[in-house]
Structure 1
Amino acid sequence: MQVNAEQIVDVLRQVTPDLLRWSGAIAKRMRTFNVALEGKHSGNANTDALTLADLTVQELVIAGLRDRAPLLRHCRIEAEEANGDLGAFAEESPLSIALDPIDGTKYFKDKTGNGYAVMIHLRTRDEVLYSLVYAPEDGATGTWTQAYGNVVKSGADDFSVNAFDCLEQMPAIDPARRPDSKKIYLIGFQKNDPANAAQVTAAGLHGYAPDDMPASIYPLLATGAFGGSLIHTPNIYDYPVSFQLARLLGGDSVWVHNGERVNFSETWMDDRADMLRLPGIVATADSPAKLKILCDLARDWSGVRYPE
């Protein structure tokens, strides 16, 4: 069956808000217990953190996508963990639904901050068509970030209405009135995250290593509190949301070594972390000027994630 991208986006807009709100509530409750698991061995704590909440949230969201909208089964599914009824979805399709059940698992597990989120997106080989991020402990009631069409939204959840209506009532962000931030998030450079963040600052922007991040990057980027990111070999489950946000806000997302826009066909399996990644270093920013600074700075940095 040939699927229509606009129809899939409409369906996702209808069914994913409830699923992510419920999942966020479960994750928030599970966080009060010791739910840490073993499973990933890349050597980087940000990558290797795994909890029972990751598996529980993924089980719920995958089942919800399968049961609430059978049309979605004609899309491919890409999920960071291996559980859930992944076989219910198409093996081949031009449309991929990707899920990160707990983005920011290290902070979730260690209770060092509230910048974790449940997130989902829809993409083709070249474009990201829909994104939804729910950060359940960002603020008093949690924070939504949503993107589709030409629309970017970000704001507080409102439990007095259902999740879909909350997002429908939320005003869209006007890129022309959004703050122009020089703050750039860096991750994936292993032990060099802080040193490379300092180089970004020296280049005229303001680099932030993972341990210095005040919250999830997605609402920060959407609202203008941050201007972009610089990521070494980003994974395909969460990074594409930044790709979509940057493009809708007037910028782009490119490989630093050649300045070409990222596509999602050039992936590799990181067996140490058990996840699919893009090759090389990716710069994402809300303006061409910031992209140029990041590309000029990092063009000659090593694109090898695990140097021997």
Structure 2
Amino acid sequence: MGRFRKITGAIVLVCAIYIAYIMRDTFDPESIRGKKVIVTGASTGIGEQIAYHYARLGAKILITARRENLLKEVSKKCIELGAQEAHYLPMDMAKVNDTGRLIVEAEKKLGGLDYLVLNHALYYWELWDGNIEKLQNIMNVNFMSFVSLASKALPMLTKTNGSIVVVSSAAGVMGNPGLSKYSASKFALGGFFEALRYELMWKKINVPITICILGAVDTDTMMNQMQKLASPERFQTLKQFFMSTEVVAIEVIKSGARGDRIAYFSFPPGLLQALHTVNVIAPSLLDGSIVSQGERIFSRLAKNRT
């Protein structure tokens, strides 16, 4: 028993040292000044806050989302916060063949590209019902448009040794009941961009790819959704585990600037990595809690609909 405790203690110590090492902050704010940046899904939520933080750091920004009226306001605020330039282009990412317009606009308005931050997303809280058309729509928005934008931006990013930042989700490393279609798109992102990273390394192309795995974030959309899905008492409990949108946004920027391979964001720090590790090593240990969570959510949904 004593030997087992020593070995366990040594493993815990090594893990703690490793986590401290990878979480050290080597970000230089001045490295962003004057950089040319695209941020997708930037009309609200995390994307909006990412745009604001890039603006404060003196970047040149091109933002996109579907709603032009919101983009116009975000762009205006970016200038007020210190962006050297701020442009916007309304786009529907479900129209995958149309995404190339954004890269053409970046070359035209910014004169190049240093950071491509892919943040937009579509999701539904519902059990799998065999609706292939809805699944295809989510895959177009959450996966195919990401691939299309990254592919079209690579020539410009190669010239500047720029970076691709992929904003993904815990649902992209662990399946969740009610998010089967969303999880499928996020798992696809992880597989594609991890493979692409290796292909670029093999080709000696210096375009780092950072995959950001986000846990619960207190966006207006998510908080409103959780109030519908959870009882008032449970909602108050769950709120403690939601990260601030503003904090997540700056950490995404830092991870991209450092060229982190993968970055997890959760509260408390390390929780998401731990759950992911357990799910890989001993997935059955989480089965009960995940299923019971799904039961609570969908019993609440059914109650709201009656």
Question: Which TM-score applies when normalising by structure 1?
Answer: 0.27
Structure with bigger RCO (C-alpha 8 Å, 6+ apart):
2
Higher strand share: 1
